[in-house]
Structure 1
Amino acid sequence: MSVNITFTDAAKERLTPIVAKSGRQLKLKYDTDGCGCVVDGVPALWLVDEADEGDLAVETNFVPVLLERSRLIFFDETMTIDVKPGTTAFQLKSPGQMLNGHMPLVKVGSDDER
């Protein structure tokens, strides 16, 4: 499956200093923690130290985004990452649906709490 991810100008503006300062990578994770079942997960935006085995780097109009190959089925082929107005959260949407309307940026790594 081919994936096309676009960042809005607002999302790029918000993320640029975070990504530049941290030197870390963005990952769209299909997060199932606390959901009880793999099909009950939600897309989450993570800031990670490095790619995991099985991750795919997708080129975007901003920075490459990591996706788990085994979870591609849960994402749409065309997606947009935007800022949720009036919040510090992001939104993940596709032409046909809102995949996550309130997606915080989660810092994951050796020095961070998830």
Structure 2
Amino acid sequence: MKVTITKSAAEVLNKKIGDQQGYLKIQYVTEGLACGSGIPTLLFISSKDETKDVLFETSFRPVIVEKSQMINFDEDLTIDYSDSVNSFQLKSPQQIVNGRMSFIM
């Protein structure tokens, strides 16, 4: 899997995260949703779980995806930011995975 963070997403993340140390994590959130449904969400966490998480280097910050959730994502992912919808977006060459991805700190 490859994860890319666009320049516009990096600029917005810099403003939100500042100098805090930690990791970005793409998580397929299913809690509270109908069976089989899930929403990719971008989290900022302070540490990673060495046994469950896979770390992907990017030109901005490392991104984590849980091993068990990698099946839910395409092989090539891009985290972008859209000014028109004022939201992060998760994209792949095949699709827009989440056009209004939440960012949770």
TM score, norm. by length of structure 1: 0.82
Work out the percentage of aligned pairs sharing the same amino acid.
38
Query: Superposition pairs for residues 63-78 of structure 1, below 5 Å?
Result: 63-78=61-76
Amino acid at match of 1:49: S
How many positions carry a matched residue from both structures?
Answer: 104
2:44 to 44, 47, 58: 47
- Compute the displacement of 1:96 (Å): 0.5
2:79 to 78, 81, 97: 81
- Compute the displacement of 1:51 (Å): 1.1
1:31 to 15, 29, 33: 29
Amino acid at match of 1:82: D
2:58 to 60, 73, 84: 60
TM score, norm. by length of structure 2: 0.89
Contact 1:7 1:62 in 2 (8 A): yes
For 1:59 and 1:21, locate their aligned partners in 2 and report how far apart those are by CA, in whole Å.
18
For 2:85 and 2:92, locate their aligned partners in 1 and report how far apart those are by CA, in whole Å.
20
* Unaligned ranges ≥5, structure 2: none
Q: Secondary structure at the match of 2:17?
A: helix
Who is 1:95 aligned against? 93
